[in-house]
A and B are shown apart, each in its own frame.
Chain A
Amino acid sequence: MARGMAVIGSSVEAAQAALTLAELGIEVKLLTPSTALGLENPISRTTDTSSEDLSRIWPLLLRTASHPLVTVHTNTEVRTITGKQGKFTIRANRNPRYVHTDLCTSCGRCEEACSVKVTSLLDGQKKAHSAIHAPIPSSRTAPSAYYIEKGAIAPCRAACPLGINVQGFVCLLSKGKVDEALGLINEAAPLAGVLGRVCTHPCEDNCKRGEVDSPVFIRALHRYVADHATGGIDYRLKAPAGSRRERIAIVGSGPAGLAAAWELARRGYRPTIFESHAQVGGMLATGIPRFRLPWEVRYREVEAIKALGVDIMTGVTVGRDVSFYDLMERGYRAFFLAIGAHQNNKLNIPGEDLEGVVDAVSLLFALNIHVGAAVGLNVVVIGGGNSAIDSARTAKRRSKGEVKILYRRTADEMTAVKEEVEETINEGVSIEYLTSPVEILGDGRKVTGIRCQRMELGEIEADGRRRPEPIPGSEFTIEADHVVIAIGQRPNVSTLNAKWLDIDDATGNIRADPLTLETNVPGVFSGGDCVTGPNNVVEAMAAGLRAAESIDRYIRRRDLRKGRSLEKPKPVDFEVGEKDISHHKRARMPALPPYKRRLGSFEEVTLGLPADAADRETGRCLNCALCSECLECERVCELGAVFHKDNAEQIEIGAEAIIDFESNGGVSESKPGYLARDTQLHLTKPGIYIVQTGENHDLERELARASAIALEAATKFERKEEPQETPYIAHTPGADLARTSEEKELSVVGGERIGVFLCRCGGSTSSVIDFNQVINEVLQVPGICNVQEISQACSEEGANWIASQAAEWKMDKIVLAACRCCGLDQICFSCTERRVICQENLSYSLTPLNNITVEFVNIGEQCAKVHRDHPEDATRKAVDIILAGVARVRKVLPSIHEEHPVEGGALILGAGLRGLSAARSLAIQGYSVDIVSGPEKSGGREQKKSAYRDTKDSLLKQLEEQGIKIRPWPHALKLDGPPGIYNAELKYGSRTSRIKAGTVIIDVGEREGEFPPDSTATAKDNLLGRLLAPESYRRTTGDTDTAKLRKYTLKETGGIFITSRDGEEPPEEQIFKGAAVAARASAYLCQGSVSPRAIAVTIDSKLCRGCGDCAAICPYIEMKERDSGIACAFIDPALCLGCGACVARCPTGAIAQFIQSDEQITSTLEALLGKITCAAGVR
């Protein structure tokens, strides 16, 4: 349902417009594409607003974000706007932030846990920060919730067929979190120890570090994690074990079968693997030699898979020992055929049948499983793949003679892993490249040699490799007594006895759908080498996982294809060339010296990286994808605010009218109204205001324009008469005590039940400060009824809990040691979003308990964070800080400040363009407006400036239409309070006019009609004259940039608005500056009543001796004559800004600030300087 207005934009101006609307009582949705207000993109400041300006108007952003009528939608990009005025629908994309804005308290624990360090350009400076960070790293923002910088995923992870979060585990390892790293690997795949040794590492091949020097040694790190995790293998289940009763048969216990079983078990199934050999592991056991993959590693990991609830039946060949029919009878609902490729291809040359000619699979099987099989003295291995290399290396360990490899292409074309080829050569195996066998020679029974021919590389074949062609006449013969044929394998499907299965005749592979792995028979799936032909471990495992997904879907009768794709995820776009990356050498894998590898030794050749080398290697990771998704931040967040699964979503927001700062142009149709022309505001259709950013960016000007536009929109906005929640008035000690006189009595006299609460801030303060010690010490203080710790005091639950404790313990005073540093109802430059929320929530929760006074002390930014290097000192200081708070809360004086009503309309003094513009804006809103013109000027100087003249005439005409007359300049003018119900006295000769007004706007200037600052009509004996002569009160005129911006950052309690004195601004700027002032005046009138600031002073007339020292420095203080004839200082608290300069200068102590008395400051000093001890109590 459309309700309220929407403001679209990320700029400070958008925030200002939203705040203006909210202060006029309109509900506002602020939609910003960035992560926080005032930022153009997540990690750099807006290009238009400098960081200096941003911090100068910080309270404005904070007030906007925390205003009860403003809802901020961050990370929200508007797509379309439909509907018409009063009933717009905004459709927008909410981009993932990965952090719940309403839960995150920006305690910073996640940042500490994050191991990804990113460098960003901030304000032209390089700054390192974590991947999870505040919208501006190490700075505050509104909202303050953190944000995770995520690009696409890293190339290593994208390349991994198993989708292992490579960057993530490397990251965790870099922080020494080995168990966590293993956990992360095992989220994606089992068999970490196997993969860490034999994986063909597509990750390393895609590593961006490889473009700088050489890739990160990921496989070695993978192995390091598997070998050094102390917590054992702990595969996390996705569903309770045994929750699925359907039986599933997996044929083959190789990597594909094991991976499928693992995944199915994690999903609650109890699959059975049938393995024809006695050893579990398929090629892992029979193909890969033990010196590359020790059996213990395989055992350990297979056992862990079994422990998940996987049954493995060894020595059972499906199709021979048990038929598919039998299995179906026994209730098996789905099958996964992962029988691998164990049948060797033939050379198809003469002599292949001779004794001594074996195939690689048989040789490896024989030497791996049956240790002690005989090997010849002159072994020749034919082939260039991994099985050829493994055969040669295994044979070398058994043969006292020579081992030679014949390969028909060159080293570059070998499909074997490069490192293994190197090791093979290290071990003394020779490789004859460009050599192909023509005939195997024998003595009729046994092999004696091979006739070979030399080859050369010809044209490029379909597989991208060059075709080897024989060189005529190059034939030669080599001796051999043992020939191993290792030119590839094909699946042996015949054992399955499954004639119904669709087989590719050419390759012998089982035909299965590439995506779902379903065969021609529903419910029968197949994957791994038996589908692809000989491949590697990682691809086989990936097939296993894919099959598990399909089987799960098949059993649940879900679509096998929906939402799946074979497409690899797109990796992040990372340009190495643009970065400044220093070179670091890749770690070297320590290995057994070659002499230890000979004859009979099956000891593992590679030794694994030592800890220091692994640590250095992790440091080589470039963290290309920024966030590595190691999920450490999710783990450390006590509030559950971080969630990596955040997805972009479409949202719909209703609005009655829209102000758009974002589209910046693209206006098809403009209907210039008066503001439209003057302020580059375009109305594309009624109810939508498109604002274009001005060319000369002057922040004050832009803010004025934003408020003017907001006011314009608000004027047209039809306000509903439904009851709206009144803006919440923040709780302050003073305001609280001001309720009733009885309550006042109670809170002052009632006394000595003080409760102290310590905020752990999600662990960020308690990790430095020893909370137990603080609690023990502070508990000794007399009058303290309890000291308790709380996880997050600023949360709603936290506030409710404090209130419940306060009720239970009958506390009458509370000291909250958290991050808020005062209980004032003001938002200053040091404030943060959480501090505002903290106060709001707490005062809301404490309201039913009535008279509880709260003192806030900061043990975060002012203690734990800045003394984190000395925890003992920080603990000591935290006690002192709390004692100071206790001392202060005891000395809070009851406030006698009263609420003023705000009644009537506006009085505008000065009829320059700004004054007239303000008058018009207020009149349109229906407020009564009185305008008093400045003095007439002689001479026609203004006449010449036609633009000025025209604008003025047009304004005057519009005001006349509204029935507003302009009073001439009086001979004398007197203004009296109290604020909100001002009384002006205008003397025209003998006649006196009186005007009542809720607010006063003064258009100060020297021009015709403007209010002359040094006017004789405004003597110093009245408020007006004093306000216009700040210099007389040791005050500056407030024309610095900071002072001008301050108007937009602070809440007005006095209700007197003075326009800035830049006389030479162009007419249109004066127009919207006037409107901006009108916006603030409207907000003031809109309140209905106004409370003085809690820090405002009061003057005790009994103590005042009338010296006038205070009145000499403050225009708001007036010396009034008493009946006795002695002067006495007087101030209306609503006018007081609370600087306290008068307090410091009062010689008799007649002037008091209730929450900043000398006594309180002194107590603070005593506590901080260690003069108050807990046991002795607070004085």
Chain B
Amino acid sequence: MSKQAPNIVIFACNWDGLSCVEAASQAGYCYPASVKVVRVSCLSRIHQGLILKAFELGADGVILLGCEPGNCHFDIDAGLVTHEYENTRSILNLLGLGEERLVIAHLAHGDGYGFMKQVTGFITEVEQMQPAIPVKA
């Protein structure tokens, strides 16, 4: 059986995050359909529950895609999101999934190339990991 491309969930903030996704598309890049983009108003909207839900539903990796520190549309301190991110990573460790399945990317607005680099790099990393065991049977 051929190995399936890993499911990657990207929580993209509506502002600089999504603008990178759009820019990649406009620049003509292609990425696998197993990369799923979920648009949210801001990364601060995302909490542990939602990230873990993504893993529960079969995500092999999750990227939090947001603005560069200081450029948040809502002026939210990057630390607020990082705090949530660090916490979730430690839970992922506890669950045996491994913290490396969750990454955060702060990209400059409209950076389609940076987005592609992040995505393809992450896919390769996730492919090398053991298959994710669903948290819930």
Contacts and interface: CB of A to CB of B under 8 A. Distances in A.
Chains A and B come from one and the same complex: yes
B1 interface: no
A1046 B9 CA distance: 29
B121 interface: no
Contacts of B79: 1034
B104 interface: no
A1035 B78 CA distance: 8
Interface string B24-53: 111111111110111111101111011001
Given A829-B110, A862-B21, A866-B25, A1145 B47 contact: yes
A686 interface: no
Contact of B75 (A56, A865, A1036, A1095): A1036
Contact of A1140 (B19, B41, B54): B41
Given A1166-B57, A1168-B38, A1170-B58, A1139 B30 contact: no
B8 to A, nearest CB: 10
A862 to B, nearest CB: 6
Contacts of A1138: 41
A867 interface: yes
A1162 interface: yes
B102 interface: no
A830 B19 contact: yes
A821 interface: yes
Interface stretch (A73-81, A176-184, A506-514, A868-876): A868-876
B22 interface: yes
A942 interface: no
A1144 B84 CA distance: 10
Given A830-B21, A1042-B109, A1139-B76, A1161 B40 contact: yes
B57 A1169 contact: yes
B122 interface: no
Contacts of A1162: 50, 53
Contacts of A943: none
Contacts of B110: 52, 55, 829
A626 interface: no
A440 to B, nearest CB: 73
A1143 B84 CA distance: 13
B59 A866 contact: no
Contact of A1137 (B29, B39, B74, B109): B74
Interface in A369-411: none
A1158 interface: yes
A1171 B26 contact: no
B contact residues, range: 35 or more
Given A55-B110, A1166-B57, A828 B50 contact: no
Interface string A1106-1148: 0000000100000000000000000000000111110111000
A866 B71 contact: no
A1156 B57 CA distance: 19
Nearest to B5: A873
A1165 B54 contact: yes
A1139 B26 contact: no
Given A822-B39, A1113-B80, A1169-B59, A1141 B26 contact: no
B46 A1144 contact: yes
Contacts of B39: 821-822
B15 interface: yes
B83 to A, nearest CB: 9
A863 B24 CA distance: 12
Contacts of B15: 828-829
A140 B44 contact: no
A867 B30 contact: yes
A862 B12 CA distance: 12
A674 to B, nearest CB: 33
A1144 B54 CA distance: 16
A862 B25 CA distance: 7
Contacts of B19: 55, 828-830
Contacts of A1166: 57
B131 interface: no
A863 B35 CA distance: 10
Contacts of A829: 15-16, 18-19, 22, 109-110
Contact of A828 (B18, B54, B71, B84): B18
A1036 B44 contact: no
A1040 interface: yes
Contacts of A1139: 41-42, 44-45, 73-74, 76
Q: Sort A-B residue pairs by CB-CB distance and give the 5 closest, nearest first.
A: A1140-B45, A1141-B44, A873-B33, A1139-B74, A861-B25
18 contacts: A139-B23, A821-B18, A828-B19, A829-B16, A862-B25, A865-B28, A867-B32, A873-B34, A1036-B76, A1042-B71, A1043-B75, A1095-B41, A1139-B44, A1140-B42, A1141-B44, A1141-B80, A1143-B45, A1144-B47
Interface of B: 7, 9, 14-16, 18-19, 21-34, 36-42, 44-47, 49-50, 53-54, 57-59, 70-77, 79-80, 84, 108-110
